[in-house]
Each structure stands twice: as structure tokens, then as C-alpha cells.
Amino acid sequence: MAKFELKLPKMGESVAEATITNWLKNVGDHIDADETVLEIATDKVDSEVPSEVEGTLVEILFQVDDVVQVGQTIAIIETEGDVPASAPAASSAPAEAKAVAETVAVAQDTVATPVDFSDSDKFFSPLVKNIAKEEGVSVAELEAIAGTGKDGRVTKNDILDYIKNRGNQPQAAAVKVETPKATPAPAAQTASKAAPVSVNGADEIVEMDRMRKLISGYMVKSVQTSAHVQSFIEVDVTNIVNWRNKVKNSFEKREGEKLTFTPIFMEAVAKALKDFPGMNISVEGDYIIKKKNINLGMAAALPNGNLIVPVIKNADQLNLVGMAKAVNDLGNRAKAGKLKPDDTQGSTYTVTNVGTFGSVFGTPIINQPEVGILALGAIRKVPAVIETPEGDFIGIRQKMFLSHSYDHRVVDGALGGQFVQRVAQILEAFDPNREI
């Protein structure tokens, strides 16, 4: 028998941690190689963690809603044969837990009572929570500890020092600490935590799911961070519509991919970003970061009504066929819930298609820390003035609106307007005889 450490895998360069959302296996269950053991969620996408080996799950080191760092051991699987060379032979987590238990055993002998951390807005690691539960440290006490970890987080040493000092206090004081007087919370804070009540008894009250809460936070933060300004421009896309209608069937037969309007628009945006690199930047504090790569975010609606933004990396290096394949691949995997965390990281500019649902134009919210986002309106047949050498006349044209939201902190009206104008020029100059 050997023990294999199941670790949280690396999920992209910018992803450092994930939250456990569901254990699909319980202790004692048999697991096949490549079988999914648990589900996790990063700040943008859900994912699955499969087992690299076949065996029996003998220990679960983290629970649902715990935040785990990349590379941390999350479970122990007992195997029949030898553990793969890439995996450590034994878990360090049980040894660490044992050492912690031995350390805290010298602390004051208190009666452990159930502790509920769900009411706390602070993050506490699973190890800190376990120590607090074993030593009867209340949530109020834990929140009062001055953490020395990153962003003020309470570390193992912080809580052990607290327990040691608490144990040296007089007994009366210790009892008083165990039952601290509740500090009244501000009215606004209390109201935000309390579930609303239906006055007439007929309204349905549904709590936001995890992703909707994240989206809500992102949107509010973006509006509070960036000075949003919008520019709108109307574009004649008749040539594009006619060309797509002419080649879409042969394209699908040859490439096995549907040809939508989205890759055509994405190609135009990538070209415009090369002409106006001032839109391909991000802002961090008082610093402007000029991005070398052009990575286009593509806002996509999910079946559950939520929104996600997969990213087309190095979009300016793709031809139209490559762009169509990238758009279809990300869109299909987004709908199926198969995106990987790295698929949603690193965008430098975002495009959203509000025309999918019939909107003529919109005022999209910037995807932080980018400085611009382009909304594509619905394509409509409209009467238009057509200029010819023989004079002007009225004709039926296919037109749409482009809505450009940009961050006025670093993008002025001239750059914001010129950029969306350049996108329009590229689209209107589309060659109706283009080969693909």
C-alpha cells in the first residue's frame, strides 16, 4: 500500500488559489485514474480536479467553501502499487496537523464549543479554523486577533500566540473572553446580511449564486473605479452580411465550423488595437501598463443567465479562419461549463455582443483593469442615403451601432472616438470578394 497526495493543480499563471465547491467522492470511496474527485471554483470559472491514480480515498484535508492554494494537498488516496515518482510518498498535512495539536495541547484546557464562521466576513484558513474550534476560540475573538499574514490574515502562529497568552490570564478573565459581549453592528451592515422578507407572502426570495455574487462585485467595483464615457458610431456592414451569406455554407463544409459575425468583428477590433495601442493598456493605481500582446475578451452569456469572459490570446496573430475556430471553441466550452481557469485570464480589451438579444446599442461596463469595452449592436435593414457619382439615392442597407465605453481617467474623447471610428472604417472597407 502507498499513499498519494492529491494536490490542487496549477490552473494558469495568474491563478493562485481556488475554492472547493463540492466533493464528488467521500472517504472510503474507490477512485479510478482520471476520475473527478471534487469541483473547485476560481474567481471566474468552475473546474474539476481528477485523480492521477487509482485507489481509495482515505482522507479529505479541506471542506466545501475552503480556499486552497495551488500546490496544496487536498486529499490522500491509498493505492495498491507504488506512488508515481512525481508525487511525494506520504502526506505532510497530517504530520503538520499532529504537530499543531501537540503545540496547542499545552494551552489552557477549555471546553470546546461549536463555532460557526459563516457570519464572519474575514478569511480564515482551514488550519486556523480547526485550532479555533478545538480551543473554543469564538468568532469574535478570532476577528479581533491582529493577523500578520498577507492582507492581515490570521496565521497559525497568530492564533497559537493568542491561545498561549489567553491561557496565562486569570481564570475569570478567560471565562469572560470565552463569552464576549457582542458589539452592535452598524445598521447598514446588519441589513446587508439579513435575508429580505416578503411582505405579501407571494414574492419569491432567492439568494444569488456564487458566480452572480462575483459578477455583482466586479460590476460595482468597475463603476466605482473607472470614469466611464461612451462614444457611439453607426456602421454600414452590408458587404459583410452579403459576403457571409455567400461563403458560410462552404466554410462550414470545409472547416467543420460555423462562420458567425463575431470573428469578423474580433478581427477588426484586433487590427484597430494595433493602430491605437493606447487602448490596449491597463491601469494599476497611478501607473499605466502598456500591453505587448493583444488578448481579446469575449463576453458570453451562460445558460444559467450568468456571464463569463473567455479570452482569445494573441488575437492579432490569427487569420479569419483561426479567429472563427477560437471564437467557436471558447463559446462552446463556455456553454458546456468546460472552460479552464486560464481561458478567462489575461484579456487586454473586451468585446460584448448586445445585438444577440436585439439591442441596438448599449453602455457596457469596463472589464477591470482594462480601459475599454466595445458593444456590438444588432444588425438591421434600414433606409440609407447612398452616394454615387450619378447622385444620391435612398437604398436598403445593413447597419449596426458600435458602442464604445472607455476609462476617462486615461483615455480622452479623441482617442476613444478615433478607436471606434477605426473599427468602423475597417468593417466598412471589408472586401466583398474576399477569399477564405
Q: What is the pLDDT of residue 41?
A: 81
**Is residue 225 over pLDDT 70?**
yes
DSSP string, 112-136: ------TT--S---HHHHHHHHHHT
Catalytic residue positions, numbered: 408, 412
Give the global pTM: 0.65
77 near 58, Cβ under 8 Å?
yes
Q: What is the pLDDT of residue 168?
A: 54
The full set of domain ranges for the chain reads 2-79, 126-164, 229-429
Rounded CA-CA distance 385/388 in Å is 10
Q: What is the pLDDT of residue 56?
A: 92
Rounded CA-CA distance 265/120 in Å is 46
At 385, the pLDDT band (50, 70, 90 cuts) reads very high
Rounded CA-CA distance 114/198 in Å is 31
Question: Which CATH superfamily includes the segment(s) 229-429?
Answer: Chloramphenicol acetyltransferase-like domain (3.30.559.10)
At 117, the pLDDT band (50, 70, 90 cuts) reads low
**Is residue 95 over pLDDT 80?**
no
Pairing outcome for strands 67-69 and 17-23:
antiparallel
Fold (topology level) of 126-164? Dihydrolipoamide Transferase (4.10.320)
pLDDT tens-place string over residues 264-315: 999 999 999 999 999 999 999 999 999 999 999 999 888 777 889 999 999 9
Share of residues in the chain with pLDDT > 70 (%): 80
CATH, domain 2-79, list 2.40.50.100, 3.40.50.2000, 3.10.20.30, 3.60.15.10: 2.40.50.100
269 backbone φψ class: left, alpha, beta (φ>0; ψ -120 to 50): alpha
At 47, the pLDDT band (50, 70, 90 cuts) reads confident
Q: Which of 370, 369, 273, 371 is nearest to 316 (CA)?
A: 273
162 near 140, Cβ under 8 Å?
no
The mean of the pLDDT values for the chain is 83
pLDDT tens-place string over residues 153-181: 677 778 888 887 875 544 433 333 343 44
